[in-house]
Protein backbone atom coordinates (compact mmCIF):
# COMPACT_ATOMS: atom_id res chain seq x y z
CA UNK A 1 0.00 0.00 0.00
CA UNK A 2 2.79 2.35 0.87
CA UNK A 3 4.27 1.92 -2.58
CA UNK A 4 0.99 2.89 -4.16
CA UNK A 5 0.82 6.02 -2.07
CA UNK A 6 4.22 6.87 -3.38
CA UNK A 7 3.07 6.53 -6.97
CA UNK A 8 0.37 9.02 -6.34
CA UNK A 9 2.55 11.80 -5.02
CA UNK A 10 5.29 10.97 -7.49
CA UNK A 11 2.80 11.40 -10.31
CA UNK A 12 1.81 14.76 -8.97
CA UNK A 13 5.42 15.82 -9.14
CA UNK A 14 5.87 14.75 -12.72
CA UNK A 15 2.70 16.49 -13.78
CA UNK A 16 3.89 19.73 -12.29
CA UNK A 17 7.27 19.38 -13.95
CA UNK A 18 5.59 18.82 -17.28
CA UNK A 19 3.81 22.11 -16.93
CA UNK A 20 7.01 23.89 -16.06
CA UNK A 21 8.87 22.46 -19.02
CA UNK A 22 6.08 23.58 -21.28
CA UNK A 23 6.39 27.07 -19.83
CA UNK A 24 10.05 27.22 -20.62
CA UNK A 25 9.68 26.03 -24.18
CA UNK A 26 6.84 28.34 -24.96
CA UNK A 27 7.46 31.56 -23.09
CA UNK A 28 3.91 32.80 -23.25
CA UNK A 29 4.86 36.15 -21.73
CA UNK A 30 5.60 37.66 -25.12
CA UNK A 31 2.59 36.12 -26.88
CA UNK A 32 -0.51 38.06 -27.80
CA UNK A 33 -3.78 36.26 -27.06
CA UNK A 34 -7.27 37.03 -28.32
CA UNK A 35 -10.24 35.53 -26.48
CA UNK A 36 -13.48 35.45 -28.48
CA UNK A 37 -16.40 34.48 -26.27
CA UNK A 38 -19.87 35.96 -25.86
CA UNK A 39 -20.40 35.11 -22.19
CA UNK A 40 -18.70 37.53 -19.81
CA UNK A 41 -18.11 34.98 -17.04
CA UNK A 42 -16.59 32.51 -19.51
CA UNK A 43 -14.26 35.23 -20.81
CA UNK A 44 -13.25 35.92 -17.24
CA UNK A 45 -12.63 32.22 -16.56
CA UNK A 46 -10.44 31.85 -19.64
CA UNK A 47 -8.57 35.06 -18.84
CA UNK A 48 -7.80 33.78 -15.35
CA UNK A 49 -6.67 30.48 -16.78
CA UNK A 50 -4.31 32.32 -19.14
CA UNK A 51 -2.91 34.40 -16.28
CA UNK A 52 -1.94 31.20 -14.47
CA UNK A 53 0.04 30.26 -17.60
CA UNK A 54 1.96 33.53 -17.42
CA UNK A 55 0.16 35.08 -20.37
CA UNK A 56 0.30 38.86 -20.13
CA UNK A 57 -1.09 40.29 -23.33
CA UNK A 58 -4.80 39.44 -23.57
CA UNK A 59 -7.46 41.11 -25.70
CA UNK A 60 -11.11 40.10 -25.39
CA UNK A 61 -13.92 40.19 -27.92
CA UNK A 62 -17.57 39.49 -27.11
CA UNK A 63 -18.66 38.79 -30.67
CA UNK A 64 -17.38 38.04 -34.16
CA UNK A 65 -17.42 41.61 -35.38
CA UNK A 66 -15.24 42.93 -32.58
CA UNK A 67 -12.97 39.91 -32.97
CA UNK A 68 -12.37 40.71 -36.65
CA UNK A 69 -11.86 44.38 -35.80
CA UNK A 70 -9.27 43.43 -33.13
CA UNK A 71 -7.45 41.18 -35.61
CA UNK A 72 -7.35 44.03 -38.09
CA UNK A 73 -5.78 46.28 -35.47
CA UNK A 74 -3.07 43.92 -34.32
CA UNK A 75 -1.62 40.52 -35.13
CA UNK A 76 -2.28 37.80 -32.54
CA UNK A 77 -0.16 34.75 -31.84
CA UNK A 78 -3.04 32.77 -30.41
CA UNK A 79 -6.79 33.14 -30.98
CA UNK A 80 -9.06 31.21 -28.60
CA UNK A 81 -12.45 31.40 -30.26
CA UNK A 82 -15.69 29.88 -29.04
CA UNK A 83 -17.83 28.30 -31.74
CA UNK A 84 -21.11 29.49 -30.26
CA UNK A 85 -21.06 33.27 -30.13
CA UNK A 86 -24.77 33.97 -29.77
CA UNK A 87 -26.18 36.43 -32.30
CA UNK A 88 -24.07 37.32 -35.33
CA UNK A 89 -21.08 35.40 -36.63
CA UNK A 90 -20.24 32.00 -35.22
CA UNK A 91 -16.67 30.86 -34.60
CA UNK A 92 -16.42 29.18 -37.99
CA UNK A 93 -17.42 32.40 -39.74
CA UNK A 94 -14.84 34.32 -37.71
CA UNK A 95 -12.15 31.86 -38.78
CA UNK A 96 -13.26 31.94 -42.39
CA UNK A 97 -13.17 35.73 -42.49
CA UNK A 98 -9.82 35.95 -40.68
CA UNK A 99 -8.23 33.57 -43.19
CA UNK A 100 -9.92 35.24 -46.15
CA UNK A 101 -8.73 38.70 -45.10
CA UNK A 102 -5.30 37.31 -44.20
CA UNK A 103 -5.55 38.51 -40.60
CA UNK A 104 -3.77 35.44 -39.26
CA UNK A 105 0.00 35.32 -39.82
CA UNK A 106 1.38 31.93 -40.89
CA UNK A 107 2.60 31.18 -37.35
CA UNK A 108 -0.60 32.17 -35.53
CA UNK A 109 -2.51 29.44 -33.73
CA UNK A 110 -6.29 29.49 -34.05
CA UNK A 111 -8.05 27.29 -31.50
CA UNK A 112 -11.77 26.63 -31.84
CA UNK A 113 -13.47 26.03 -28.52
CA UNK A 114 -16.53 23.82 -28.81
CA UNK A 115 -19.18 22.78 -26.31
CA UNK A 116 -18.97 19.17 -27.38
CA UNK A 117 -16.77 16.92 -29.38
CA UNK A 118 -19.57 16.28 -31.84
CA UNK A 119 -19.38 19.85 -32.94
CA UNK A 120 -15.70 19.72 -33.67
CA UNK A 121 -16.32 16.66 -35.81
CA UNK A 122 -18.75 18.63 -37.93
CA UNK A 123 -16.30 21.51 -38.08
CA UNK A 124 -13.55 19.18 -39.23
CA UNK A 125 -15.45 18.86 -42.46
CA UNK A 126 -15.50 22.61 -43.17
CA UNK A 127 -13.19 24.30 -45.62
CA UNK A 128 -11.31 26.53 -43.18
CA UNK A 129 -9.94 24.31 -40.47
CA UNK A 130 -8.74 25.64 -37.13
CA UNK A 131 -5.24 24.64 -36.03
CA UNK A 132 -6.76 22.95 -33.00
CA UNK A 133 -10.06 22.38 -31.35
CA UNK A 134 -10.67 22.14 -27.65
CA UNK A 135 -13.82 20.82 -26.03
CA UNK A 136 -15.13 22.66 -22.98
CA UNK A 137 -14.28 22.47 -20.19
CA UNK A 138 -10.52 22.41 -20.68
CA UNK A 139 -7.69 23.06 -18.25
CA UNK A 140 -4.39 24.90 -18.47
CA UNK A 141 -2.34 21.83 -19.12
CA UNK A 142 -4.48 20.78 -22.07
CA UNK A 143 -4.16 24.22 -23.56
CA UNK A 144 -0.41 24.37 -22.98
CA UNK A 145 0.14 21.05 -24.62
CA UNK A 146 -1.84 22.06 -27.71
CA UNK A 147 0.02 25.35 -27.92
CA UNK A 148 3.37 23.70 -27.64
CA UNK A 149 2.55 21.03 -30.20
CA UNK A 150 1.36 23.63 -32.65
CA UNK A 151 4.29 25.90 -32.04
CA UNK A 152 6.72 23.07 -32.79
CA UNK A 153 4.84 22.23 -35.96
CA UNK A 154 4.60 25.84 -37.12
CA UNK A 155 8.29 26.38 -36.53
CA UNK A 156 9.13 23.25 -38.47
CA UNK A 157 7.05 24.32 -41.47
CA UNK A 158 7.74 28.07 -41.18
CA UNK A 159 10.03 28.54 -44.16
CA UNK A 160 7.85 26.40 -46.42
CA UNK A 161 4.69 28.28 -45.43
CA UNK A 162 6.37 31.65 -45.89
CA UNK A 163 7.56 30.68 -49.35
CA UNK A 164 4.06 29.49 -50.27
CA UNK A 165 2.57 32.70 -48.92
CA UNK A 166 4.99 34.66 -51.12
CA UNK A 167 3.97 32.39 -54.04
CA UNK A 168 7.56 31.32 -54.44
CA UNK A 169 6.76 27.70 -55.19
CA UNK A 170 10.18 26.61 -56.37
CA UNK A 171 11.66 27.78 -53.07
CA UNK A 172 8.87 26.09 -51.09
CA UNK A 173 9.56 22.85 -52.96
CA UNK A 174 13.27 23.19 -52.28
CA UNK A 175 12.64 23.60 -48.51
CA UNK A 176 10.16 20.77 -48.54
CA UNK A 177 12.53 18.38 -50.28
CA UNK A 178 15.40 19.15 -47.96
CA UNK A 179 13.16 18.64 -44.91
CA UNK A 180 11.97 15.33 -46.30
CA UNK A 181 15.62 14.29 -46.30
CA UNK A 182 15.85 15.04 -42.55
CA UNK A 183 13.62 12.05 -41.90
CA UNK A 184 11.62 13.56 -39.04
CA UNK A 185 9.11 10.80 -38.38
CA UNK A 186 6.55 12.99 -36.70
CA UNK A 187 6.43 15.54 -39.53
CA UNK A 188 7.06 13.17 -42.43
CA UNK A 189 3.49 12.42 -43.47
CA UNK A 190 2.42 16.04 -43.27
CA UNK A 191 5.49 17.04 -45.29
CA UNK A 192 4.52 14.54 -47.93
CA UNK A 193 1.05 16.01 -48.02
CA UNK A 194 2.36 19.53 -48.50
CA UNK A 195 4.89 18.37 -51.09
CA UNK A 196 2.14 16.64 -53.06
CA UNK A 197 -0.05 19.75 -52.90
CA UNK A 198 2.85 21.85 -54.14
CA UNK A 199 3.31 19.42 -57.01
CA UNK A 200 -0.40 19.66 -57.85
CA UNK A 201 -0.33 23.45 -57.65
CA UNK A 202 2.60 23.64 -60.04
CA UNK A 203 1.21 21.15 -62.53
CA UNK A 204 3.75 18.42 -61.67
CA UNK A 205 1.13 15.66 -61.60
CA UNK A 206 3.59 12.83 -61.91
CA UNK A 207 5.35 13.80 -58.70
CA UNK A 208 2.05 14.24 -56.87
CA UNK A 209 0.83 10.88 -58.14
CA UNK A 210 4.02 9.20 -56.86
CA UNK A 211 3.64 10.68 -53.39
CA UNK A 212 -0.04 9.85 -53.05
CA UNK A 213 0.58 6.28 -54.15
CA UNK A 214 3.48 5.93 -51.74
CA UNK A 215 1.29 7.12 -48.86
CA UNK A 216 -1.57 4.84 -49.90
CA UNK A 217 0.75 1.86 -50.06
CA UNK A 218 1.31 2.30 -46.31
CA UNK A 219 -2.29 3.15 -45.43
CA UNK A 220 -5.59 3.99 -47.05
CA UNK A 221 -5.82 7.69 -46.15
CA UNK A 222 -8.66 9.87 -47.40
CA UNK A 223 -6.59 12.85 -48.38
CA UNK A 224 -4.18 10.80 -50.47
CA UNK A 225 -7.03 9.00 -52.25
CA UNK A 226 -8.75 12.35 -52.84
CA UNK A 227 -5.46 13.67 -54.23
CA UNK A 228 -5.40 10.97 -56.89
CA UNK A 229 -8.90 12.01 -57.93
CA UNK A 230 -7.89 15.67 -58.06
CA UNK A 231 -4.93 14.84 -60.30
CA UNK A 232 -7.19 12.90 -62.67
CA UNK A 233 -9.62 15.83 -62.69
CA UNK A 234 -6.91 18.38 -63.47
CA UNK A 235 -5.73 16.21 -66.36
CA UNK A 236 -9.30 16.20 -67.71
CA UNK A 237 -9.73 12.50 -67.00
CA UNK A 238 -13.18 13.05 -65.53
CA UNK A 239 -14.25 9.43 -65.69
CA UNK A 240 -11.41 8.25 -63.43
CA UNK A 241 -11.88 11.27 -61.16
CA UNK A 242 -15.60 10.54 -60.74
CA UNK A 243 -14.79 6.93 -59.95
CA UNK A 244 -12.31 7.92 -57.20
CA UNK A 245 -14.63 10.51 -55.62
CA UNK A 246 -17.68 8.24 -55.75
CA UNK A 247 -15.83 5.39 -54.05
CA UNK A 248 -14.54 7.76 -51.38
CA UNK A 249 -18.07 8.92 -50.66
CA UNK A 250 -19.31 5.34 -50.50
CA UNK A 251 -16.81 4.54 -47.76
CA UNK A 252 -16.80 8.00 -46.12
CA UNK A 253 -20.32 9.42 -46.38
CA UNK A 254 -19.33 12.46 -44.31
CA UNK A 255 -16.38 13.54 -46.43
CA UNK A 256 -17.76 16.78 -47.86
CA UNK A 257 -14.66 17.62 -49.87
CA UNK A 258 -15.25 14.48 -51.92
CA UNK A 259 -18.79 15.65 -52.78
CA UNK A 260 -17.46 19.02 -53.93
CA UNK A 261 -14.89 17.39 -56.19
CA UNK A 262 -17.44 14.89 -57.47
CA UNK A 263 -19.70 17.79 -58.40
CA UNK A 264 -16.82 19.56 -60.15
CA UNK A 265 -15.93 16.46 -62.14
CA UNK A 266 -19.55 15.85 -63.16
CA UNK A 267 -19.94 19.48 -64.15
CA UNK A 268 -16.75 19.47 -66.18
CA UNK A 269 -17.94 16.41 -68.06
CA UNK A 270 -21.20 18.19 -68.81
CA UNK A 271 -23.34 16.15 -66.41
CA UNK A 272 -25.02 18.99 -64.54
CA UNK A 273 -27.71 16.84 -63.02
CA UNK A 274 -25.29 14.57 -61.20
CA UNK A 275 -23.19 17.55 -60.16
CA UNK A 276 -26.31 19.08 -58.68
CA UNK A 277 -27.22 15.82 -56.93
CA UNK A 278 -23.78 15.61 -55.28
CA UNK A 279 -23.94 19.17 -53.98
CA UNK A 280 -27.51 18.73 -52.84
CA UNK A 281 -26.46 15.76 -50.73
CA UNK A 282 -23.50 17.64 -49.26
CA UNK A 283 -25.62 20.66 -48.30
CA UNK A 284 -28.05 18.33 -46.56
CA UNK A 285 -25.22 16.79 -44.53
CA UNK A 286 -23.65 20.12 -43.64
CA UNK A 287 -25.97 23.09 -44.17
CA UNK A 288 -23.46 25.70 -42.97
CA UNK A 289 -21.12 26.12 -45.94
CA UNK A 290 -22.23 29.18 -47.87
CA UNK A 291 -19.99 28.68 -50.92
CA UNK A 292 -21.51 25.25 -51.56
CA UNK A 293 -25.03 26.72 -51.47
CA UNK A 294 -23.99 29.35 -54.00
CA UNK A 295 -22.55 26.73 -56.31
CA UNK A 296 -25.66 24.56 -55.97
CA UNK A 297 -27.92 27.53 -56.63
CA UNK A 298 -26.26 28.44 -59.93
CA UNK A 299 -26.20 24.80 -61.04
CA UNK A 300 -29.87 24.19 -60.21
CA UNK A 301 -30.73 27.48 -61.92
CA UNK A 302 -28.96 26.19 -65.03
CA UNK A 303 -30.67 22.78 -64.98
CA UNK A 304 -34.04 24.41 -64.43
CA UNK A 305 -34.62 22.88 -60.98
CA UNK A 306 -35.90 26.14 -59.66
CA UNK A 307 -37.12 24.76 -56.34
CA UNK A 308 -33.62 23.60 -55.47
CA UNK A 309 -32.17 26.85 -56.78
CA UNK A 310 -34.57 28.89 -54.66
CA UNK A 311 -33.75 26.95 -51.51
CA UNK A 312 -30.00 27.18 -52.11
CA UNK A 313 -30.09 30.92 -52.89
CA UNK A 314 -32.16 31.48 -49.77
CA UNK A 315 -29.60 29.59 -47.67
CA UNK A 316 -26.78 31.61 -49.25
CA UNK A 317 -28.60 34.86 -48.50
CA UNK A 318 -29.27 33.83 -44.88
CA UNK A 319 -25.77 32.52 -44.20
CA UNK A 320 -24.36 35.57 -45.98
CA UNK A 321 -25.65 37.84 -43.22
CA UNK A 322 -22.69 36.83 -41.06
CA UNK A 323 -20.26 35.70 -43.70
CA UNK A 324 -17.34 37.27 -45.48
CA UNK A 325 -18.74 35.59 -48.60
CA UNK A 326 -21.93 37.67 -48.45
CA UNK A 327 -22.80 38.88 -51.92
CA UNK A 328 -25.49 40.95 -53.56
CA UNK A 329 -25.34 38.45 -56.43
CA UNK A 330 -27.12 35.89 -54.24
CA UNK A 331 -30.03 38.26 -53.67
CA UNK A 332 -30.36 38.99 -57.36
CA UNK A 333 -29.97 35.27 -58.12
CA UNK A 334 -32.90 34.56 -55.81
CA UNK A 335 -34.93 37.39 -57.32
CA UNK A 336 -34.26 35.99 -60.81
CA UNK A 337 -35.52 32.56 -59.77
CA UNK A 338 -38.73 34.17 -58.44
CA UNK A 339 -39.12 36.12 -61.63
CA UNK A 340 -38.75 32.91 -63.68
CA UNK A 341 -41.56 31.33 -61.70
CA UNK A 342 -43.67 34.46 -62.24
CA UNK A 343 -43.60 35.28 -58.55
CA UNK A 344 -42.97 38.96 -59.17
CA UNK A 345 -43.96 40.06 -55.69
CA UNK A 346 -41.33 37.81 -54.10
CA UNK A 347 -38.74 38.98 -56.62
CA UNK A 348 -39.36 42.63 -55.82
CA UNK A 349 -39.34 41.93 -52.10
CA UNK A 350 -35.99 40.18 -52.36
CA UNK A 351 -34.54 43.19 -54.14
CA UNK A 352 -35.97 45.44 -51.44
CA UNK A 353 -34.23 43.29 -48.79
CA UNK A 354 -31.00 43.56 -50.73
CA UNK A 355 -31.20 47.37 -50.80
CA UNK A 356 -31.61 47.36 -47.02
CA UNK A 357 -28.49 45.25 -46.59
CA UNK A 358 -26.39 47.13 -49.14
CA UNK A 359 -26.80 50.82 -48.48
CA UNK A 360 -24.81 53.07 -50.82
CA UNK A 361 -23.47 50.11 -52.76
CA UNK A 362 -23.68 50.98 -56.47
CA UNK A 363 -23.15 47.38 -57.57
CA UNK A 364 -26.12 46.17 -55.52
CA UNK A 365 -28.16 49.16 -56.75
CA UNK A 366 -27.38 48.21 -60.32
CA UNK A 367 -28.36 44.57 -59.71
CA UNK A 368 -31.67 45.74 -58.30
CA UNK A 369 -32.34 48.28 -61.05
CA UNK A 370 -31.49 45.87 -63.89
CA UNK A 371 -33.84 43.22 -62.50
CA UNK A 372 -36.60 45.68 -61.64
CA UNK A 373 -36.57 46.78 -65.25
CA UNK A 374 -37.50 43.21 -66.17
CA UNK A 375 -39.88 42.40 -63.32
CA UNK A 376 -41.95 45.59 -63.60
CA UNK A 377 -42.26 45.01 -67.33
CA UNK A 378 -43.42 41.48 -66.56
CA UNK A 379 -46.29 42.77 -64.44
CA UNK A 380 -47.10 45.49 -66.95
CA UNK A 381 -45.94 48.46 -64.89
CA UNK A 382 -44.21 50.30 -67.73
CA UNK A 383 -43.62 53.46 -65.75
CA UNK A 384 -41.72 51.75 -62.93
CA UNK A 385 -39.85 49.61 -65.44
CA UNK A 386 -38.76 52.68 -67.37
CA UNK A 387 -37.64 54.41 -64.17
CA UNK A 388 -35.59 51.39 -63.08
CA UNK A 389 -34.03 51.20 -66.54
CA UNK A 390 -32.94 54.84 -66.36
CA UNK A 391 -31.40 54.23 -62.93
CA UNK A 392 -29.57 51.19 -64.30
CA UNK A 393 -28.12 53.23 -67.16
CA UNK A 394 -26.88 55.93 -64.78
CA UNK A 395 -25.26 53.34 -62.54
CA UNK A 396 -23.58 51.68 -65.53
CA UNK A 397 -21.93 54.98 -66.41
CA UNK A 398 -20.79 55.40 -62.83
CA UNK A 399 -19.38 51.89 -62.42
CA UNK A 400 -17.76 51.58 -65.84
CA UNK A 401 -15.57 48.51 -66.15
CA UNK A 402 -15.97 47.60 -62.48
CA UNK A 403 -19.17 45.71 -63.26
CA UNK A 404 -18.73 41.95 -62.83
CA UNK A 405 -19.54 39.72 -65.81
CA UNK A 406 -22.70 38.16 -64.41
CA UNK A 407 -24.13 41.60 -63.71
CA UNK A 408 -23.21 42.80 -67.20
CA UNK A 409 -25.41 40.00 -68.49
CA UNK A 410 -28.33 41.35 -66.45
CA UNK A 411 -27.71 44.78 -67.92
CA UNK A 412 -27.58 43.35 -71.45
CA UNK A 413 -30.92 41.66 -70.87
CA UNK A 414 -32.46 44.91 -69.60
CA UNK A 415 -31.25 46.71 -72.73
CA UNK A 416 -32.79 44.07 -74.98
CA UNK A 417 -36.08 44.14 -73.09
CA UNK A 418 -36.21 47.90 -73.55
CA UNK A 419 -35.48 47.55 -77.26
CA UNK A 420 -32.05 49.12 -76.95
CA UNK A 421 -30.33 46.47 -79.09
CA UNK A 422 -27.42 48.72 -79.91
CA UNK A 423 -26.21 49.08 -76.29
CA UNK A 424 -26.96 45.44 -75.58
CA UNK A 425 -24.98 44.19 -78.57
CA UNK A 426 -21.99 46.40 -77.76
CA UNK A 427 -21.65 45.06 -74.22
CA UNK A 428 -22.38 41.50 -75.27
CA UNK A 429 -19.82 41.65 -78.07
CA UNK A 430 -17.12 42.67 -75.61
CA UNK A 431 -18.22 40.05 -73.08
CA UNK A 432 -18.08 37.29 -75.66
CA UNK A 433 -14.69 38.43 -76.92
CA UNK A 434 -13.25 38.34 -73.41
CA UNK A 435 -14.74 34.96 -72.56
CA UNK A 436 -14.94 33.14 -75.86
CA UNK A 437 -12.77 30.33 -74.47
CA UNK A 438 -14.98 29.92 -71.36
CA UNK A 439 -17.62 27.35 -72.27
CA UNK A 440 -19.67 27.91 -69.14
CA UNK A 441 -19.90 31.60 -69.75
CA UNK A 442 -20.80 31.18 -73.39
CA UNK A 443 -23.47 28.73 -72.22
CA UNK A 444 -24.88 31.44 -69.95
CA UNK A 445 -24.95 33.91 -72.85
CA UNK A 446 -26.89 31.41 -74.95
CA UNK A 447 -29.32 30.75 -72.10
CA UNK A 448 -29.89 34.45 -71.54
CA UNK A 449 -30.55 35.12 -75.22
CA UNK A 450 -32.79 32.06 -75.30
CA UNK A 451 -34.85 33.47 -72.44
CA UNK A 452 -35.74 36.49 -74.57
CA UNK A 453 -36.31 34.37 -77.67
CA UNK A 454 -33.11 35.20 -79.55
CA UNK A 455 -31.29 31.88 -79.74
CA UNK A 456 -30.22 32.54 -83.32
CA UNK A 457 -28.75 35.84 -82.38
CA UNK A 458 -26.38 33.98 -80.03
CA UNK A 459 -24.85 31.94 -82.83
CA UNK A 460 -24.54 34.98 -85.04
CA UNK A 461 -22.62 36.80 -82.32
CA UNK A 462 -20.48 33.94 -81.07
CA UNK A 463 -19.39 32.14 -84.25
CA UNK A 464 -17.37 34.97 -85.89
CA UNK A 465 -15.59 35.81 -82.63
CA UNK A 466 -14.65 32.19 -82.12
CA UNK A 467 -13.35 32.04 -85.68
CA UNK A 468 -11.33 35.24 -85.19
CA UNK A 469 -9.73 33.90 -82.00
CA UNK A 470 -8.79 30.65 -83.71
CA UNK A 471 -7.20 32.56 -86.56
CA UNK A 472 -5.24 34.86 -84.29
CA UNK A 473 -4.11 31.93 -82.23
CA UNK A 474 -3.01 29.92 -85.23
CA UNK A 475 -1.15 32.87 -86.64
CA UNK A 476 0.64 33.57 -83.36
CA UNK A 477 1.52 29.96 -82.69
CA UNK A 478 2.78 29.55 -86.24
CA UNK A 479 5.08 32.59 -85.91
CA UNK A 480 6.26 31.29 -82.53
CA UNK A 481 7.10 27.90 -83.99
CA UNK A 482 9.15 29.54 -86.71
CA UNK A 483 11.13 31.33 -84.02
CA UNK A 484 9.69 34.74 -84.75
CA UNK A 485 9.02 35.59 -81.12
CA UNK A 486 8.67 39.33 -81.56
CA UNK A 487 6.15 38.99 -84.35
CA UNK A 488 4.19 36.32 -82.47
CA UNK A 489 4.09 38.53 -79.41
CA UNK A 490 2.83 41.43 -81.50
CA UNK A 491 -0.05 39.34 -82.87
CA UNK A 492 -1.20 38.45 -79.34
CA UNK A 493 -0.70 41.97 -78.05
CA UNK A 494 -2.94 43.31 -80.78
CA UNK A 495 -5.51 40.66 -79.97
CA UNK A 496 -5.31 41.58 -76.29
CA UNK A 497 -6.27 45.14 -77.20
CA UNK A 498 -9.54 43.81 -78.59
CA UNK A 499 -10.18 41.14 -75.96
CA UNK A 500 -8.25 42.29 -72.89
CA UNK A 501 -9.67 39.64 -70.54
CA UNK A 502 -9.18 36.65 -72.82
CA UNK A 503 -7.36 33.87 -70.98
CA UNK A 504 -6.02 31.96 -74.00
CA UNK A 505 -4.29 35.07 -75.23
CA UNK A 506 -2.85 35.87 -71.81
CA UNK A 507 -1.45 32.36 -71.43
CA UNK A 508 0.10 32.43 -74.89
CA UNK A 509 1.81 35.74 -74.17
CA UNK A 510 3.20 34.39 -70.90
CA UNK A 511 4.48 31.27 -72.62
CA UNK A 512 6.28 33.30 -75.25
CA UNK A 513 7.86 35.54 -72.62
CA UNK A 514 9.07 32.56 -70.57
CA UNK A 515 10.48 30.88 -73.66
CA UNK A 516 12.20 34.10 -74.66
CA UNK A 517 13.70 34.58 -71.18
CA UNK A 518 15.03 31.02 -71.17
CA UNK A 519 16.48 31.36 -74.66
CA UNK A 520 17.97 34.81 -74.72
CA UNK A 521 18.80 35.25 -71.04
CA UNK A 522 17.36 37.24 -68.17
CA UNK A 523 15.75 40.56 -68.91
CA UNK A 524 14.15 42.59 -66.15
CA UNK A 525 11.55 44.19 -68.41
CA UNK A 526 10.31 40.90 -69.87
CA UNK A 527 10.41 39.29 -66.46
CA UNK A 528 8.21 41.99 -64.92
CA UNK A 529 5.85 41.83 -67.87
CA UNK A 530 5.46 38.07 -67.45
CA UNK A 531 4.83 38.53 -63.73
CA UNK A 532 2.09 41.08 -64.38
CA UNK A 533 0.45 38.86 -66.95
CA UNK A 534 0.45 35.87 -64.60
CA UNK A 535 -1.20 37.98 -61.92
CA UNK A 536 -3.79 39.10 -64.42
CA UNK A 537 -4.38 35.53 -65.58
CA UNK A 538 -4.92 34.42 -61.97
CA UNK A 539 -7.36 37.27 -61.47
CA UNK A 540 -9.42 36.24 -64.48
CA UNK A 541 -9.64 32.65 -63.30
CA UNK A 542 -6.94 30.65 -65.09
CA UNK A 543 -6.57 27.32 -63.22
CA UNK A 544 -4.28 27.50 -60.17
CA UNK A 545 -2.10 24.59 -61.33
CA UNK A 546 -1.34 26.42 -64.60
CA UNK A 547 -0.63 29.66 -62.72
CA UNK A 548 1.61 27.80 -60.26
CA UNK A 549 3.51 26.11 -63.07
CA UNK A 550 4.17 29.37 -64.92
CA UNK A 551 5.14 31.15 -61.69
CA UNK A 552 7.60 28.41 -60.88
CA UNK A 553 9.26 28.55 -64.27
CA UNK A 554 9.62 32.28 -63.85
CA UNK A 555 11.04 31.98 -60.32
CA UNK A 556 13.63 29.50 -61.50
CA UNK A 557 14.90 32.03 -63.99
CA UNK A 558 15.07 34.77 -61.43
CA UNK A 559 16.95 32.41 -59.08
CA UNK A 560 19.43 31.53 -61.84
CA UNK A 561 19.91 35.21 -62.53
CA UNK A 562 20.52 36.01 -58.85
CA UNK A 563 23.08 33.23 -58.50
CA UNK A 564 24.94 34.66 -61.50
CA UNK A 565 25.09 38.07 -59.86
**Residues contributing to the site for other proteins (CB under 8 A):** 1, 4-5, 7-12, 15, 41-42, 45, 115-118, 120-121, 124, 136-139, 141-142, 145, 149, 185-186, 189, 219-222, 251-255, 285
290's CB contacts (< 8 A; 6+ apart) are 315, 316, 319, 320, 323, 325
Q: How far is the CB of 42 from other proteins (least distance, A)?
A: 7
In 3-state terms, what secondary structure has residue 133?
strand
Rounded Cα gap, residues 89 and 97, in angstroms: 10
213 vs 518 by CB, closer to other proteins: 213
41 vs 563 by CB, closer to other proteins: 41
Q: Is 249 in contact with 229 (CB distance < 8 Å)?
A: no
146 vs 311 by CB, closer to other proteins: 146
Determine phi and psi for 350, rounding to 5 degrees: -60, -40
154 vs 340 by CB, closer to other proteins: 154
**Could you give the C-alpha distances from 360 to 177, 204, 363, 366, in angstroms and in order?**
51, 46, 9, 11
Q: Where are the beta strands (DSSP E) in 495-547?
A: none
Sheet holding 32-36, edge to edge: 57-61, 32-36, 78-82, 109-114, 132-135
Rounded Cα gap, residues 262 and 298, in angstroms: 16
246 vs 378 by CB, closer to other proteins: 246
Q: How far is the CB of 33 from other proteins (least distance, A)?
A: 19
- Cα angle vertex 34, ends 28, 37, to 5°? 130
Q: How far is the CB of 107 from other proteins (least distance, A)?
A: 20
Q: How far is the CB of 187 from other proteins (least distance, A)?
A: 10
Residue 36 per-residue DSSP state: E
15 vs 158 by CB, closer to other proteins: 15
Q: How far is the CB of 251 from other proteins (least distance, A)?
A: 7
Q: How far is the CB of 47 from other proteins (least distance, A)?
A: 13
Q: How many residues does the chain have?
A: 565
Q: Is 452 in contact with 446 (CB distance < 8 Å)?
A: no
Rounded Cα gap, residues 515 and 505, in angstroms: 15
189 vs 417 by CB, closer to other proteins: 189
Q: Is 192 buried (19+), middle (13-18) or exposed (0-12) by CB count in 10 A?
A: middle
Q: Is 365 in contact with 357 (CB distance < 8 Å)?
A: no
153 vs 556 by CB, closer to other proteins: 153
Q: How far is the CB of 260 from other proteins (least distance, A)?
A: 16
138 vs 205 by CB, closer to other proteins: 138
Buried b (16+ CB within 10 A) or exposed e, 391-417: bbbebbeebeeebeeebbbbbbbbbbb
221 vs 468 by CB, closer to other proteins: 221
Q: How far is the CB of 300 from other proteins (least distance, A)?
A: 24
12 vs 273 by CB, closer to other proteins: 12
Q: How far is the CB of 309 from other proteins (least distance, A)?
A: 26
**Could you give the C-alpha distances from 85 to 104, 261, 320, 424, 556, in angstroms and in order?**
20, 31, 16, 47, 47
**Cα-Cα-Cα-Cα dihedral of 450, 454, 455, 458, to 10°?**
-110
288's CB contacts (< 8 A; 6+ apart) are 92, 122, 126, 319
Q: How far is the CB of 40 from other proteins (least distance, A)?
A: 12
Q: How far is the CB of 97 from other proteins (least distance, A)?
A: 25
Amino acid sequence: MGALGFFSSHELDTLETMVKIAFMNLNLKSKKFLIVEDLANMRKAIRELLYTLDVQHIVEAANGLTAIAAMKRERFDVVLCDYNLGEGKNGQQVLEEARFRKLLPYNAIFIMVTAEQNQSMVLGAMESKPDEDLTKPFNGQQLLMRLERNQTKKEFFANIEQAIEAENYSLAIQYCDSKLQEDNRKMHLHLQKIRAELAVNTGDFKKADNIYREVLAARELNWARLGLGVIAYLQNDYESAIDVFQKLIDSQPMMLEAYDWLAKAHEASGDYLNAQAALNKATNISPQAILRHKKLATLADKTGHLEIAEKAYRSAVNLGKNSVHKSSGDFSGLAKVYSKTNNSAAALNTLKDMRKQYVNDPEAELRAAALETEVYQQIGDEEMSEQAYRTAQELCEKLGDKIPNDLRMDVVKAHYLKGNDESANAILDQLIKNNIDDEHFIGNVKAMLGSIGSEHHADALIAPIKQALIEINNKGVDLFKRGKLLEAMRVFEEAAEIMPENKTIMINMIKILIYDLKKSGFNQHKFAKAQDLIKKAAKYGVNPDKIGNMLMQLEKMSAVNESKV
